[in-house]
Amino acid sequence: MLVLSHDSQVPLYTQLYSQIKGAILSGRFAADSRLPSVRDLARQHLISRNTVENAYLELYAEGYIYSKERSGYFVSPLSPDDVLVSPPARGAARETVQETQCLFDFHPARLDAEAFPERIWRKCLLDALHRGSRDLNHYSEAQGEGTLRGEIRKYLEQSRGVVCDIDQIVVCGGLQHGLDIVAHLLKDSRPVVAVEDPGYHLARSVFANHSLEVLPLPVLDEGLDLRALQDSRSTVAYVTPSHQFPMGCVMPIANRLKLLRWAREGGNFIIEDDYDSELRYHGRPIPSLQGLDPDGNIVYSGTFSKVLSPALRVSYLVLPHSLLPAYRRLFSDYAPSVSVLEQRALAQFMEQGHWERHVRRVRTLYRKKHDALLRALARHCGERASVIGQGAGLHVVVQLHDTAVKEEELVAAARHSGIKLFPFSTTCVNRKPEEGMVILGFGGLSIDRIEEGVALLFQSQQKRISAE
Amino acid sequence: MLVLSHDSQVPLYTQLYSQIKGAILSGRFAADSRLPSVRDLARQHLISRNTVENAYLELYAEGYIYSKERSGYFVSPLSPDDVLVSPPARGAARETVQETQCLFDFHPARLDAEAFPERIWRKCLLDALHRGSRDLNHYSEAQGEGTLRGEIRKYLEQSRGVVCDIDQIVVCGGLQHGLDIVAHLLKDSRPVVAVEDPGYHLARSVFANHSLEVLPLPVLDEGLDLRALQDSRSTVAYVTPSHQFPMGCVMPIANRLKLLRWAREGGNFIIEDDYDSELRYHGRPIPSLQGLDPDGNIVYSGTFSKVLSPALRVSYLVLPHSLLPAYRRLFSDYAPSVSVLEQRALAQFMEQGHWERHVRRVRTLYRKKHDALLRALARHCGERASVIGQGAGLHVVVQLHDTAVKEEELVAAARHSGIKLFPFSTTCVNRKPEEGMVILGFGGLSIDRIEEGVALLFQSQQKRISAE
DNA sequence: GGGTATTTGTCCGTATGTATG
DNA sequence: TCATACATACGGACAAATACC
């Protein structure tokens, strides 16, 4: 019945335990039936009684058996229907993922591999670890470390014209996490969320995941179509006014004021996603919408992902005062979701001026790439396409004049030559995807690779076209 | 009676030895009276039997005690004249640190300030930073770094009996974030979520925040009342089977199987919150519910917050296969919310065996505190209260026999003496809060502080009572 | 039916190996 | 290397329950 191996690594009493457990679960030991007495089992297997007893005690602790003093151990009644048939032993993990290697990745969210300020970050991390390791034992401030929020507030005020105090700032683990929170705050009013079309697909997902009604509205040359917004039933507008994704336009001040008025008069909310405002390559950065109406119903969202590293998972919200009560009610006893260590490192990084310096450095770096991309585009398809949305961010949109090109084929062909394209249609909902729209992200490629990649892309496309 | 200091330089067995010797010499232990058995003393102080035995052997060697084989140790009869009157000099004087702000925080979520393995963690962090800084530029795997998930899988399989592959594991930023995800996955079915009452209030908040219908069900001696569950309309059950919060009971196997059956037959879901399974102070850790039915509808949730540091914000879910499609649909293009750097550091921490070692170390540490708390309780209110849910975790529940005590007053009075109590009623919903229930968390206090705090707490309470 | 021998859970002390620092 | 502590194994002593005469 029971088989014990004395040579096994697993202790005798554990072997006994698991075999008896198995017998009980599989029903071979009926409910309330007596188990062999401690002595019997010990004799039978030529082991100590205490060894058996240890096994029994373990089973007892987990409720498999019960004991009647001086009478015996008995199987706990497990209703037979409860008992599972097969206690399966699944094998080890499936080995996964062989990514086809792609040489030119034009995904708009790729960043420069060298740009991360490794040395300085290490120093900040170590300082944070050293200074604060005594403090790592309690759960910290729910909205994020005070020092970090202070630094964020200073930065936002100076560089983005955002007006707020630190109580309005919530540190969170990425844009999507921030939008999750916002969706929660707003959902009670059963909002209708107007989103840009084309627009940031991941933001749409968040709202949709929260079962909010999402209403895609067209994007004009000047950003979200405000006429359409006013005519709609929307109560919330998610916008990227400083640098529309993906089209790259800036919402002019007239539209901004109109948008603010829409919010104010209708009691509506604006979610301002300022995802890459640091990256403007000429002129001053566009001041934020929030700064125009600091007391309005505006949720401002920013991130460290683009400039510092997406691997850090730190972003932040600035909530309007009107949402603070709801925030406190819902989230006051949520723990923060960003590592305190990294929050402190980041606070120090900013406090010591590394952030400002790094922003400048990165801006120069990407401007060069941006320029290289434009040069390459001019050279390799200057006639056949026009560029939309240059001058900021980490990508541009290329509008091919030959509108007969199917996106799927384009992407597939590019893939074939080792080029990864992010399909424009991903950003669209209702708007029927214009044929010949191509998003080219340049953050992750070196200047040389940008040149090569563009050449390859339009060379192959040329071939494809001329083959027809 | 006997007091052991675990922080002391002097070995445990030596402390035992000298205290027993003192008791014998001073006549507090009568001649020929039996000493506590090796097992009893070991259990009582939660130390190994061998440690006690070493002390006894020393006493035996010096003739203070004799042993009757298989019967016990007994005090040697010493002629009274031989006994010295003055006990020997006490060791180094206790430093009487007069802390101005003497706050005793008995919150159950506090952890030891010194427990964080700073040096090793720094090394892992730096390695991760160094090796991976080239990789920090793109957004990483949505469910978490593969290496980390691999290590988690291995650990769960070995230590918790959880059966899964790494595709089922989702790394997230804390229990609440994990439950957020689960709530999303389940919400389409408009679930009714049964929760334990009393139970973990923060979990309830998450479900409520997602507008799920929350149904508090009573907790019996063996955990969630399954009869009530079956009679309810619930379609999801959130449970803490390995160590119910806050009552500390373990769900016996019969109930586990019944619960599994409830899920299987009704197509219902179980959320198994295994928040502190690492911290069991005697016997083996209770195997997980998930391992009993790996193909069932069980979401398993675990965390690194308790054992490593809550400041890290890393936890994980194991999703059942049935939820994977929904997860992919909703979250496949969410970025992960935990810093890639820390994920990698953690993966290395586990890979190199630091995690296992650290778990052991921490378990010992908290066991000592747990033991100290029980001793202090026995000394200061042994008659007036009984302890519930000891033997695991970071808190116990004290049931005061004087049930006329109002919780508010108790908490206020404690607060007045510099003691922070976490109100039991916080964990309750419908269940009318039993008067006289007190949750005492011992994680964040040193052994000395535990002793002082308990003394202070019950001293002040005594005064309060006698004043009436 | 009442005494008795046996069985049984439960307690006891003990020996050895091993992990840790 | 060595001290310390724990895990895993061991067999004996005892009293209550049980079976048997």
For A364-374, what is each residue's pLDDT tens digit? Answer: 889 889 989 98
Neighbour count for residue A185 (Cβ, 10 Å): 25
**Given this model, what pLDDT does residue A135 score?**
65
Q: How far apart are CA A267 and CA B191, in angstroms?
A: 32
Alpha-carbon torsion (A43, A46, A48, A54), positive or negative:
negative
Percent of chain B predicted with pLDDT > 70: 89
Q: How confident is the model at residue B376 (pLDDT cuts 50, 70, 90)?
A: confident
Q: Between helices B201-209 and B175-187, what is the axis angle to 10°?
A: 40
Largest CA distance in chain A: 97
Among protein residues, the one whose C-alpha sits closest to the C1' atom of C12 is B70
Question: For A107-121, A282-296, A423-437, B386-400, which range has the lowest pLDDT when averaged over its residues?
Answer: A423-437
Q: How confident is the model at residue B355 (pLDDT cuts 50, 70, 90)?
A: confident
Q: How confident is the model at residue B12 (pLDDT cuts 50, 70, 90)?
A: confident
| Positions of chain C reached by protein Cβ under 7 A | 7-17, 20-21
Let me know: does A195 contact A205? Beta carbons within 8 Å: no
Which residues of chain A between 49 and 68 are close to nucleic strand C, CB under 7 A?
A: 49-50, 53, 56, 67-68
**Structure token digits, residue B135:** 């990789």
| Cβ of B364 near strand C (distance < 7 A) | no
Let me know: does A91 contact B164? Beta carbons within 8 Å: no
**Given this model, what pLDDT does residue A193 score?**
97
B368 touches chain A (CB under 8 A): no
Measured between CB atoms, which of A62, A118, A341 is closest to B286?
Answer: A62
**Given this model, what pLDDT does residue B95 score?**
34
**Given this model, what pLDDT does residue A101 score?**
54
Taking an 8 Å cut-off on Cβ atoms, the answer to whether B252 and A340 are in contact is no
The conformation of residue A163, written as its DSSP 8-state character, comes to -
For B224-233, what is each residue's pLDDT tens digit? Answer: 999 999 999 9
- Looking at every residue in chain A, the average pLDDT score rounds to 85
Contacts of A78 in chain B (CB under 8 A): 253-254, 257
For A228-277, what is each residue's pLDDT tens digit? Answer: 999 999 999 999 999 999 999 888 788 888 999 999 999 999 999 999 88
Let me know: does B301 contact B136? Beta carbons within 8 Å: no
- Looking at every residue in chain B, the average pLDDT score rounds to 84
Helix (H) or strand (E) holding B302: strand B298-303
Q: In DSSP terms, which residues pair with B273 in a beta bridge?
A: B301
**Structure token digits, residue B436:** 């006289």
**Given this model, what pLDDT does residue B244 score?**
93
Strand locations in A412-451 (E): 419-420, 422-423, 437-441
Taking an 8 Å cut-off on Cβ atoms, the answer to whether B292 and A444 are in contact is no
Q: Strand pairing of B213-220 and B223-224?
A: antiparallel
Let me know: does A417 contact A460? Beta carbons within 8 Å: yes
Cα angle B36-B37-B42, degrees, rounded to a multiple of 5: 95
Q: How far apart are CA A184 and CA A202, in angstroms?
A: 16
Radius of gyration of chain B, Cα coordinates, nearest whole angstrom: 25
Q: How confident is the model at residue A76 (pLDDT cuts 50, 70, 90)?
A: confident
For A133-153, what is each residue's pLDDT tens digit? Answer: 566 655 578 899 999 999 999
Helix (H) or strand (E) holding A452: helix A447-467
Q: Between helices A118-132 and A340-351, what is the axis angle to 10°?
A: 120
Give Cα A110 distance to the centre of its chain. Answer: 14
**Amino acid (one-letter) located at B118:** E
Distance from CA of B224 to the nearest CA of A (A): 15
Taking an 8 Å cut-off on Cβ atoms, the answer to whether B340 and A121 are in contact is no
Q: How far apart are CA B15 and CA B3, in angstroms?
A: 8
Let me know: does B170 contact B143? Beta carbons within 8 Å: yes
Burial zone of B401 (CB within 10 Å; 0-12 exposed, 13-18 middle, 19+ buried): exposed
Let me know: does A152 contact A316? Beta carbons within 8 Å: yes
Q: How far apart are CA A442 and CA A450, in angstroms?
A: 7
Percent of chain A predicted with pLDDT > 90: 33
Q: Measure Cα distances from B104 to B316, B371, B377 in Å.
A: 32, 17, 15
The 8 Å CB, 24+ separation contacts for B371-377 are B371/B4, B371/B45, B371/B46, B371/B281, B372/B6, B372/B442, B372/B447, B372/B450, B372/B451, B373/B440, B373/B442, B373/B450, B373/B454, B375/B3, B375/B45, B375/B451, B376/B450, B376/B451, B376/B453, B376/B454, B376/B455, B377/B440, B377/B454
**Given this model, what pLDDT does residue B50 score?**
86
Measured between CB atoms, which of B187, B286, B310 is closest to A335?
Answer: B310
Higher pLDDT, A77 or B439: B439
B159 touches chain A (CB under 8 A): no
The conformation of residue A193, written as its DSSP 8-state character, comes to E
Whether A13 has a pLDDT exceeding 60, the answer reads: yes
Considering only residues 211 to 270 of chain B, which have any Cβ-Cβ distance to chain A shorter than 8 Å?
Answer: 211, 222, 250-258, 260-261
Choose the most confident range, by mean pLDDT, from A198-202, A417-421, B71-75, B435-439. A198-202
pTM of the model: 0.82
B158 touches chain A (CB under 8 A): no
